[in-house]
């Protein structure tokens, strides 16, 4: 039985060394496929926050619209060759009056010109289809009267009622927006030779378009781009097949540019810029180095203390901790996890949780040894260790479970910075349980003698006494 445990311990050390070698080589090689990914606060770049206007959507449509918006913006920034952009959505608040506010966060590593970044994202058009609403013809007539009076200088000054009517919007929004656009392509009118943009909708968009045209024959279906009407065709009949055309006074180059912009992503909902932040690469590197230095110093202090206090079990705990750290870094690389300053803080805190698990185990083992010696028996060290681990497991399980639940809540409801902390902390706590219960237990049983007496009593004791 003992040789099986020692073989398992040797296997753990070999695998731990292999994981450590993978982490080291993948980080030292510049062209590695598994580098550690750092957030903007550690690598530098632009942090841009938009607020999406979802006031015209039903509540059940908001999540789908925001996911579509995220996909569109991500596709847009990818076209500009930004290295590993992060585009995510979040609510402005979970509770209270701001619960309906939807935000889009764009992080562009390496892009320190925030104005260029905003312009890059702003080039994505908002495509909408709006239908002539009841009373639209009266609104058009009022608008024509106002135009005739104030622009051409003809006719009498319109009444207050006419001015109010002319200020109204003659079109009402429909369910058909750019979120249902499959592709756009440049075409030419076979009769006039004028350039036009041909639109093809997704299957869902094609069905919405067919229903819209079937139920509103004879009405105007205006095509809006970035809030302005660019084409106002009249629905002649039901249109099947999910295809539409944008026509108007545009050159072939303008039509080609519009096609490129639509294919890179038409926004499903309007967005408004609410904040920007630029972090220089030198500042990010300084924050990263400071976090790593703090972690290393803290780890060394903990390692020295635990070895001095718990002696040989302390050495085992440090080895187990080193394997745990290698596993964590490997997970960061393989998932991959984007490390932020908050994430590094979560990592350091999870190391503390791992040490705490080992301390609980060692104290339980110490209690079992004291109980055996108190009964006047020679303590069986292996039995004491197994019983100590068994008694420690419930405390470690309950404490770490509450920490994991807390991490899940923070990740679910927190902002992007809090999410980074919660993700790293949650992964760390889960791995720390594995480290304490499996790795530490196997290594201790592999090196411990059978009886707790003589030198074994010294090396497996705790505190500064020699007994």
DSSP string covering 18-78: HHHHHHHHHHH-TT-SSPPEE-HHHH-EEEEEEEE--TTS-HHHHHHHHHHHHHHHHHHHH
| pLDDT at residue 405 greater than cutoff 90 | yes
For residues 307 and 393, membership in a common domain is answered with yes
CA distance 109 to 189: 44
In this prediction, residue 97 carries a pLDDT of 43
Name the percent of the chain lying above pLDDT 70.
Answer: 87
| Domain final residue, candidates 204, 239, 269 | 269
Q: Tokens 């943009």 map to which residue?
A: 197
84 or 107: which carries more pLDDT confidence?
107
Measured distance CA(267)–CA(205) in Å, rounded: 14
Q: Which of the two residues, 388 and 153, has the higher pLDDT score? A: 388
**Average pLDDT estimate for 368-391:** 76
Q: Are 430 and 408 in contact (CB under 8 A)?
A: no
**Last residue of one domain, picked from the residues 214, 249, 269:** 269
Regarding whether 65 and 24 lie in a shared domain, the answer is no
What CATH code is carried by the domain that includes residue 422?
1.20.1640.10
- Asked if pLDDT for residue 18 goes beyond 90, the answer is yes
| pLDDT at residue 464, rounded to an integer | 61
C-alpha distances in Å from residue 318, one per residue of 293, 301, 309, 359, 391: 18, 11, 12, 12, 22
252 CA to centre of own chain: 40
Residue 354: is its pLDDT beyond 80? yes
| Angle between helical axes of 312-334 and 2-28 (0-180°, round to 10) | 50
Residue with tokens 């970035």: 226
Q: Are 239 and 253 in contact (CB under 8 A)?
A: no
Distance CA 445, CA 450 (A): 9
> How much is the average pLDDT of 73-102?
66
Same domain as 182, residue 70: no
Residue 94 three-state SS: coil
Domain assignment present for residue 413? The answer is yes
Flag the least confident range among 74-88, 139-153, 310-324, 437-451: 74-88
User: Is the same domain home to 424 and 339?
Assistant: yes
Whether residue 51 lies inside any domain: the answer is yes
Residue 402, Cβ density class (10 Å: 0-12 exposed, 13-18 middle, ≥19 buried): exposed
pLDDT of the residue at 94 = 46
Highest-confidence segment of 98-107, 128-137, 227-236? 128-137
Please indicate, yes or no, whether residues 324 and 423 belong to a single structural domain of this protein.
yes
Co-location of 397 and 347 in the same domain: yes
Query: Per residue in 215-254, pLDDT tens?
Result: 988 888 888 877 778 778 888 888 888 888 877 777 888 7
Q: Is residue 163 part of a domain?
A: no
Residues 437 and 308 in one domain: yes
> What is the DSSP annotation of 433-460?
HHIIIIIIHHHHHHH--SB--THHHHHT
Could you tell me whether strands 127-132 and 221-225 are parallel, antiparallel, or unpaired per DSSP bridges? antiparallel
Residues 296 and 387 grouped into a single domain:
yes
Residues 262, 290 within the same domain: no
**The pLDDT of residue 376 is above 60:** no
Which CATH number is 233's domain given?
3.30.1360.200
Within a domain: 436: yes
Residue 95 has a pLDDT of: 44
Which residue, chain included where needed, has tokens 């972090």? 279
Residues 240 and 299 in one domain: no
Q: Which of 108-117, 194-203, 335-344, 451-460 has the highest mean pLDDT?
A: 194-203
pLDDT, the chain, mean: 81
Per the domain annotation, does 162 fall within a domain?
Answer: no
| pLDDT score of 96 | 44
pLDDT at 417 over 70: no
- 161 falls within a domain: no
Using an 8 Å Cβ cutoff, are 423 and 404 in contact? Answer: no
Whole-number Å distance between alpha carbons of 266 and 246:
14
Same domain, 400 and 310: yes
Question: Is the pTM for the entire model greater than 0.85?
Answer: no
**Predicted confidence band at 265 (pLDDT cuts at 50, 70, 90)?**
low
Q: How many domains is the chain built from?
A: 3
Average confidence (pLDDT) over 453-458: 69
Q: What is the mean pLDDT of residues 70-90?
A: 73
The answer to the question of residue 158 being in a domain is: no
pLDDT higher than 70, residue 392: yes
**Among candidate residues 211, 242, 269, the one where a domain is terminated:** 269
In a domain, 191, yes or no: yes
Q: Are 361 and 392 in contact (CB under 8 A)?
A: yes
Same domain assignment for residues 83 and 192: no
Residue 384 sits in which domain range?
Answer: 2-38+280-459
């Amino acid at each position: 039985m003992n040789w099986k445990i020692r073989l398992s311990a040797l296997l753990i050390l070999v695998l731990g060394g292999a994981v450590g070698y993978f982490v080291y080589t993948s980080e030292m090689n510049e062209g590695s496929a598994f580098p550690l990914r750092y957030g903007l606060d550690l690598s530098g770049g632009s942090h841009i926050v938009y607020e999406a206007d979802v006031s015209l959507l039903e509540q059940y449509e908001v999540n789908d619209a925001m996911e579509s918006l995220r996909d569109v913006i991500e596709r847009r920034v990818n076209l500009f060759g930004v290295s590993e952009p992060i585009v995510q959505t979040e609510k402005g608040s979970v509770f209270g009056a701001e619960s309906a506010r939807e935000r889009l966060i764009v992080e562009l590593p390496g892009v320190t010109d925030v104005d260029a970044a905003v312009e890059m994202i702003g080039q994505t058009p908002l495509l909408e289809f709006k239908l002539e609403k009841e009373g639209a013809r009266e609104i058009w007539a009022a608008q024509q009267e106002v135009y005739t009076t104030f622009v051409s200088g003809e006719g009498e000054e319109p009444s207050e009622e006419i001015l109010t009517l002319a200020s109204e919007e003659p079109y009402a929004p429909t369910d058909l927006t750019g979120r249902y656009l499959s592709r756009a392509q440049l075409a030419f009118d076979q009769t006039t030779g004028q350039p036009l943009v041909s639109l093809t909708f997704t299957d869902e968009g094609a069905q919405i378009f067919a229903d819209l045209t079937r139920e509103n024959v004879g009405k105007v279906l205006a095509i809006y781009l970035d809030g302005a009407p660019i084409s106002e065709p009249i629905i002649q009949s039901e249109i099947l097949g999910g295809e539409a055309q944008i026509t108007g006074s545009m050159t072939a180059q303008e039509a080609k540019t519009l096609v490129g912009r639509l294919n890179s992503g038409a926004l499903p909902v309007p967005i408004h810029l609410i904040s920007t932040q630029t972090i220089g690469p030198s500042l990010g590197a300084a924050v990263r180095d400071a976090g790593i230095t703090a972690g290393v110093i803290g780890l060394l202090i903990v390692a020295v203390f635990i070895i001095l206090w718990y002696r040989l079990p302390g050495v085992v705990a440090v080895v187990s901790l080193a394997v745990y750290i290698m596993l964590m870094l490997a997970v960061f690389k393989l998932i991959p996890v984007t490390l932020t300053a908050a994430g590094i803080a979560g990592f350091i805190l999870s190391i503390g949780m791992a040490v705490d698990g080992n301390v609980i185990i060692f104290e339980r083992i110490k209690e079992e040894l004291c109980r055996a010696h108190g009964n006047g028996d020679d303590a069986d060290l292996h039995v004491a260790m197994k019983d100590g681990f068994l008694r420690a497991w419930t405390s470690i399980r309950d404490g770490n479970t509450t920490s994991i639940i807390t991490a899940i809540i923070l990740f679910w409801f927190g902002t992007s910075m809090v999410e980074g902390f919660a993700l790293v902390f949650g992964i760390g706590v889960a791995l720390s349980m594995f480290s304490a219960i499996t790795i530490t237990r196997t290594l201790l049983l592999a090196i411990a003698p059978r009886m707790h007496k003589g030198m074994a009593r010294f090396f497996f004791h705790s505190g500064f006494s020699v007994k």
